[in-house]
């Protein structure tokens, strides 16, 4: 999968993503992560890409033309790569990182992972001229209800989350299927050696070797953990009647405790 990140700070992006799992995957050719500097497409000798907003207001605004020209260069590079790979030409997904977008979540990551290329646009200052956003952006995405100085960190979050779903990126592809938010449930607690640490023992069921009992315990723990920490997720989870009763009792107990 190919990621193209349009940014004013390419080093920030590449330094963060060229390490750990994403860095190793890129080294193996499973991923391609390219940070494209919007300043390279400025049309003045100072490489300035911002100006005052019409109508007044605090701060500066990124201009439309440098962003547009940057996108056109990325689009042309993708077109050439598709031709080399004999891939069909289809519309690009262009994601603008903005607090006004839909909140990023695991199903969204799974949807993005189906793409062969993903273009991420990082804003800065007070944002980007609305006209170019209307012309090139297909998805507005937020990583949470707070304001950051730019879109680079959110872009890195999206690349990291989507990359994990690309076949071969994780050492064990099965691990991506049993993480938090699978089936709208949080992941169960996990343990490793030694069996006793600080007088705390690993649950006996995990030492039993009885796989059916282990899976039953893990499922139950996922329901319990979700009910305690993220009960909002249970609205979309498919639960048995026994699991619904268990979750309901946990939430009732927590409410009575004032949690």
> For residue 179, what pLDDT is reported?
57
> For residue 45, what pLDDT is reported?
80
CA-angle at 158, arms to 224 and 25, nearest 5°: 100
Mean pLDDT, consecutive 10-residue segments, the chain of 259 residues?
A: 98 94 95 97 89 91 97 98 93 96 95 97 94 98 94 98 96 56 86 95 96 97 96 94 96 88
Q: What does 74-85 look like in DSSP terms, one character per residue? A: HHHHHHHHHHHT
Rounded-to-integer distance, Cα 140 and Cα 219, Å: 34
* Structural domains of the chain sorted by starting position, each given as residue range(s) with its CATH number in brackets: 2-163 (3.40.1280.10), 196-256 (1.10.1270.20)
Q: Give helix then strand counts, H and E, for the chain.
A: 8, 9
Alpha carbons within 13 angstroms on the beta-carbon side of residue 62 total 26
């Amino acid at each position: 999968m190919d990621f193209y990140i349009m940014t004013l700070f390419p080093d920030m992006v590449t330094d963060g993503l060229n390490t750990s799992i994403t860095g190793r995957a890129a080294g193996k050719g499973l991923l391609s992560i390219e940070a494209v500097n919007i300043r390279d497409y400025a049309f003045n000798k100072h490489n300035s890409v911002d100006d005052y907003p019409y109508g007044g207001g605090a701060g500066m605004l990124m201009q439309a033309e440098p962003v547009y020209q940057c996108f056109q260069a990325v689009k042309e590079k993708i077109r050439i790569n598709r031709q080399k790979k004999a891939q069909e030409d289809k519309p690009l997904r262009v994601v603008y990182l903005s607090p006004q977008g839909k909140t990023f979540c695991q199903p969204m990551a799974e949807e993005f992972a189906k793409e062969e290329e993903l273009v991420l646009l990082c804003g800065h200052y007070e944002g980007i001229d609305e006209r170019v956003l209307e012309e090139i952006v297909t998805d507005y995405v937020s990583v949470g209800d707070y304001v950051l100085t730019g879109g680079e960190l959110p872009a890195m979050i999206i690349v990291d989350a989507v990359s994990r779903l690309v076949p071969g990126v994780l050492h064990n592809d099965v691990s991506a299927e049993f993480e938090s938010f699978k089936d709208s449930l949080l992941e169960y607690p996990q343990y490793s050696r030694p069996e006793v640490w600080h007088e705390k023992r690993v649950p006996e069921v995990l030492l039993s070797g009885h796989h059916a009992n282990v899976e039953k315990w893990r499922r139950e723990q996922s329901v319990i953990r979700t009910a305690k920490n993220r009960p909002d997720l249970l609205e979309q989870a498919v639960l048995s009647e026994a699991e619904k009763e268990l979750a309901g009792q946990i939430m009732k107990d927590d409410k009575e405790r004032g949690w």
